[in-house]
Structure 1
Amino acid sequence: MADLLRLLLRVAEKAANVARVCRQEAPLFQLLVQEKTGDDKNKKFVQDFKTLADVVIQEMIRHDVGAQFPEMAGFIHGEESNKFENGLGECVTVTVCSTEEETAALLATVLGGDHTAASLLARAIHQDPATIAADTDGLAVPLSPSELGIWIDPIDATSQYIEGREEVLEEGRLFPSGLHCALVLIGVYLRSTGEPVMGVINQPFNYKDPAGGRWKGKHFWGVSCGSINVCSVSRPKDGPGAGLSVVLSSSEKPVVKDALTSLCGPDKLMFASGAGYKILCVIQGLADVYVLSEGSTFKWDSCAPHALLRALGGGVVDLNKCLQSSSGVQDPQIELTYHQPNTERKGAERWANHGGLVAYRDSSQLRSIIGPLKDKL
């Protein structure tokens, strides 16, 4: 498990490098931000270069993990399909090849012969990142890779990534939007039960070096398995009389906003972009709870940060199940799991968190949230 964690930290940093390169290199940046109109809009790659960036990251992680842990190869899932139709109507399956040149040639077929952009992307995919420091040596978890599956969200909060607004982050403060909301999320779950046991979060745009103008990232990780709970983030200490703080999506239902304003007060209700970033805010103690009443997140959004919260003594629950359960927050059935699709749905919707969710660090905080929402939803 220590080897797997080290590998996931490394591939998450490679993914972060790809995300940064797509914004730093002009030929890629132009493809990333330009709006398509007319006939171009109907060509899948041209319509959405950001989807190609997502797929490239996803397939790179799938390739690297499958190479070191072949027994996991069939259980590495992501948000995106890796099949593209290029401008000539050809269907191209995007994979990471054994050499940089082969990968560049493959990407050029998707990119309509744009060899410059293809080469830049291929170089980032095949570049080894600097070693990621993590104290994982003593990590002995009684699990085998053959028992595990992986969920990847290559670039969570894509709209913030594309918009690219830069914020200077301050310690202890939540910033509602900007590049820092874009995260690489890699979550590991038990195939038998679906419980999240390991998570890696990489924040590619955490800090901009004033000297070189280059972005630096930050990573977070956690392992939760039985009595073993280890996290790179210390459990935040609540100050005396701090009061409960909640982070929401700005598009949250008015009835939920009103109920939580009555509970917490208007100053303790915050809004932010990106499901992964909002859960990271709870992990870091920038907010106590994240509430979402809509089924608009997916397994790839929540798996990685869920593992970190479990390591800190918290969790992520299905809001609807929580509201309906006679056992309340003690019911083990309300926790989100990651191994089974909703067979009544199709496509990506099979993997949606349909009942909404609540991410929390402490069950007492979860309990205080559920009461006011019970009569409203």
Structure 2
Amino acid sequence: MADILQELLRASEKAACIARACRQEEALFQLLIEEKKEDEKNKKFLTDFKTLADVLVQEVIKHDLGKKFAGLEENVRGEESNEFTNELGEKIIVKVCPTEEETASLLQKVLDNNKAAAKTLARAVHQDVTLTDVALDDVNVSLPLDNIAVWVDPIDSTYQYIKGSGDIQPEKGIYPKGLQCVTVLIGVFLLDTGHPVMGVINQPFAIQDPITLRWKGQWYWGLSYMGSNICSLHFSAASGKPDNKVDGGSQQSAATAKNSYATVTSSAESENVLRALSNVCGENLHFAAGAGYKCLCVIQGLVDFYVFSEDTTFKWDSCAPHAILKSLGGGMLDLSECLKSANQNQVPSVRPHILYNSEVQGAKGADRWANKGGLIAYRSEQDLEFFMNLFIKKLSLPNELH
């Protein structure tokens, strides 16, 4: 399993390099930021480029994983289709070609003959990226390749990626918006059960050099399989040795003892849920962009929970952070199922963890893979019990849950 996780880390870093290149290289950045008027011919082309950044990252991850583990590329899933139609009406399948020159030639067709942009992208796609984590040397768990699949969100929080600023100040360590909210998410799950077992979150724009203005990233990983739970946060970054300061969630936290919780959510959350969260959390209710980043806030311990009742997050958003949270002693549940059980005074025998191998019945397109019942992400089982009791008391449940 260490080999798979190492390759996921490397693929995530290459994806992060491509994301940074699209913003830092002038030929690509102009395509990202330029706004076209309604009557301008190539408005679709600019929209397509914004999508191309997502698609290209997804295809690179698929290509690199398949190169290392033959056949795994067939089970890499994501949001984006890799088919484009250019201004000439030609349908082009975006893929990683055997050579940098061939990839540049293919991308040039998609980019309506923008040679400079195509060459820059191809160089980023074919660069050698080395990323190692000494903590992985001690990982010795066997994972059956024929029973795993991968969910990828190549660039989560696309709006912040395109429009985001790099000078947003955090509030209690949490960025409400900006480039820091952008993440690359790669999650592995079991095909037979749908349980997440391995996840990588890469933050391409974590730290900006004040002199060069160049960005550096940081990454987090975790695995939870057959009783083994290991997370990068368990180790000191300098030594690769276990970090005894990290609490995996098994002990009662200070938040539980004080009945005080920090929660992050979306500004798009319903008024009913926001009111309840505000009543429970007070000034410790935070808002942030990006589902992946909000999950990361829970993983880092900046908040205790990420709560979202809407159905606008998807399997590619939640699989990677879910696996990391499991490795820390937490998880990610279907919020609507939790509320139904509570409203019926039932204690479920099995927690309604989000699963990743089945579609939403009757849904079409991307909605087939929506987290239909919303979600609650947490690090501590014990904190979850206390929080849910408080939250439900403050929540006026919608009619369909009565």
Deviation at 1:250?
1.1
Deviation at 1:247?
0.6
Q: What SS does structure 2 have at the residue aligned with 1:336?
A: coil
How far apart in 2 are the matches of 1:135 and 1:212? 31
How far apart in 2 are the matches of 1:269 and 1:319? 18
1:12-61 deviations in Å (ceiling 9; x for gaps): 00000000000001110011111233355786543232210000000000
Amino acid of the residue matched to residue 8 of structure 1? L
Aligned pairs, how many? Answer: 376
Q: What SS does structure 2 have at the residue aligned with 1:27?
A: helix
Q: Is the 8 A contact 1:92 1:110 kept in 2?
A: yes
Amino acid of the residue matched to residue 356 of structure 2? Y
Q: Does 1:290 align with 2:306?
A: yes
Aligned to 2:397: 376
How far apart in 1 are the matches of 2:156 and 2:111? 23
Q: Is the 8 A contact 1:318 1:358 kept in 2?
A: yes
How far apart in 1 are the matches of 2:347 and 2:134? 33
Deviation at 1:362?
1.3
How far apart in 1 are the matches of 2:206 and 2:259? 27
Q: 1:2 to 1:329 in 2, by over 3 A?
A: farther
Q: 1:132 to 1:288 in 2, by over 3 A?
A: same
Q: 1:41 to 1:257 in 2, by over 3 A?
A: farther
Q: What SS does structure 1 have at the residue aligned with 2:233?
A: coil
Aligned to 2:186: 186
Aligned to 2:17: 17
Q: Does 1:47 align with 2:64?
A: no
Aligned to 2:67: 67
Q: What SS does structure 2 have at the residue aligned with 1:96?
A: coil
Amino acid of the residue matched to residue 305 of structure 1? P
Percentage identity across aligned positions? 51
Deviation at 1:212?
2.5
Q: What SS does structure 2 have at the residue aligned with 1:48?
A: helix
1:270 aligned residue (286, 307, 321): 286
TM-score, scaled to structure 1: 0.94
Q: Is the 8 A contact 1:289 1:365 kept in 2?
A: no
Q: 1:168 to 1:111 in 2, by over 3 A?
A: same
Q: What SS does structure 2 have at the residue aligned with 1:95?
A: coil
1:86-108 deviations in Å (ceiling 9; x for gaps): 11111101000011000000000
How far apart in 1 are the matches of 2:162 and 2:316? 20
How far apart in 2 are the matches of 1:44 and 1:154? 21
Q: 1:134 to 1:354 in 2, by over 3 A?
A: farther
TM-score, scaled to structure 2: 0.89
Amino acid of the residue matched to residue 59 of structure 1? E
Q: Is the 8 A contact 2:200 2:219 kept in 1?
A: yes
Aligned to 2:384: 366
Aligned to 1:159: 159
Amino acid of the residue matched to residue 145 of structure 2? P
Q: Which moved more, 1:126-135 or 1:357-366?
A: 126-135
Q: What SS does structure 1 have at the residue aligned with 2:135?
A: coil
1:220-278 deviations in Å (ceiling 9; x for gaps): 0000012100001144584474821111101211111111122222x111111100000
Q: Is the 8 A contact 2:260 2:280 kept in 1?
A: no
Q: What is the CA RMSD across the aligned residues, in angstroms?
A: 2.0
Q: Is the 8 A contact 2:153 2:185 kept in 1?
A: yes
How far apart in 2 are the matches of 1:318 and 1:292? 10
Q: What SS does structure 2 have at the residue aligned with 1:136?
A: helix
How far apart in 1 are the matches of 2:169 and 2:201? 17
Aligned to 2:239: none
Aligned to 2:238: none
Q: 1:44 to 1:68 in 2, by over 3 A?
A: farther
Alignment of 1:21-170 (within 5 A): 21-38=21-38, 44-167=44-167
Q: What SS does structure 1 have at the residue aligned with 2:338?
A: helix
Amino acid of the residue matched to residue 264 of structure 2? V
2:365 aligned residue (305, 329, 347): 347
How far apart in 2 are the matches of 1:214 and 1:225? 37
Q: What SS does structure 1 have at the residue aligned with 2:8?
A: helix
